[in-house]
Amino acid sequence: MANNYGNLGNLYETRSDLDKAEVMYEKSLKLFQTIDSPKA
């Protein structure tokens, strides 16, 4: 899912819709950070 958000970010960036691209990149980053964070 995180990869999909990143891909959507790329699509929006290519279409010069930088606001939507930023939202998708942030969602992707948040998911990747959740996946990579150590469990307590």
Asked if residue 10 lies in contact with residue 2, where contact means CB atoms within 8 angstroms, the answer is no
Q: What is the pTM of this model?
A: 0.87
Per domain, the residue ranges of the chain are 2-35
The radius of gyration of the chain's CA atoms, rounded to the nearest angstrom, is 11
- pLDDT band at 38, cuts 50/70/90? confident
- pLDDT, tens only, 9-35: 999 999 999 999 999 999 999 999 999
pLDDT for res 36: 86
